[in-house]
Structure 1
Amino acid sequence: MQAYRAQLLRFDAQGQALYDSDGLLVVDGDASGVRRVLDAGPYRTLAGRHPQVPITHWPERIIAPGFIDMHVHYAQTDIIGAPAAGLLPWLENYTFPAEARFVDSQYAAEVAGVFFDELLRNGVTTALVFPTSHPASADAFFARAEHHGLRMIGGKVLQDRHSPDGVRDETEQSLIDTEALIRRWHGKGRLGYAITPRFAPTSSEAQLRGAGELAAKYPDTWIHSHVAENRDEVTWVRELYPNSRSYLGVYQDFGLMRRRAVYAHCIHLDDADRRLMHDTQTAAAVSPTSNLFLGSGFFDFEAAMARGVPHGLASDVGGGTSFCPFHTMLAAYYVGREGQSKPGLSLSPAQLWWLHTGAAARALGLEGVIGTLQPGTEADFVVINPKATPLLARKTARAQNLDELLFSLIVLGDDRAIESVVIA
Structure 2
Amino acid sequence: MAARHDQGRVLHTYTFRAKLTLPQRDQARPRPGTPSRRLSAGEDERPGQAREQQQGQWIVNGNTTSKASLHALLHGLAEGREPAHAYHPDARWQGMHPIGTLEGVGAISRFWRALRGAFPDMERRDLIFVGGDNHDDPRKPGWRAPHLVAALGHYQATFAADYLGIPATGGVVHLRYAEAHWLDGGKIRHSRVMIDLLDLMRQAGVWPLPPSLGTEGTWPGPASLDGVRLTDEPPRPGASALETIFAMHRALLSFDGKSLDSMPHGQYWTDNFMYYAAAGIGMTRGLQGFRAHHQIPFLKAFPDRIAEGHFIRISDGDYAVTGGNVMGTHRDTYMGMPATGRRISVPVMDFYRLDGDRIAENWLPMDVLGMAAQMGNDLLARLRHLTGHPVTSL
State TM-score, norm by structure 1: 0.27
Q: Which has the higher contact order (CA 8 A, sep 6+)?
A: 1
Higher strand share: 2
State TM-score, norm by structure 2: 0.28
Higher helix share: 1
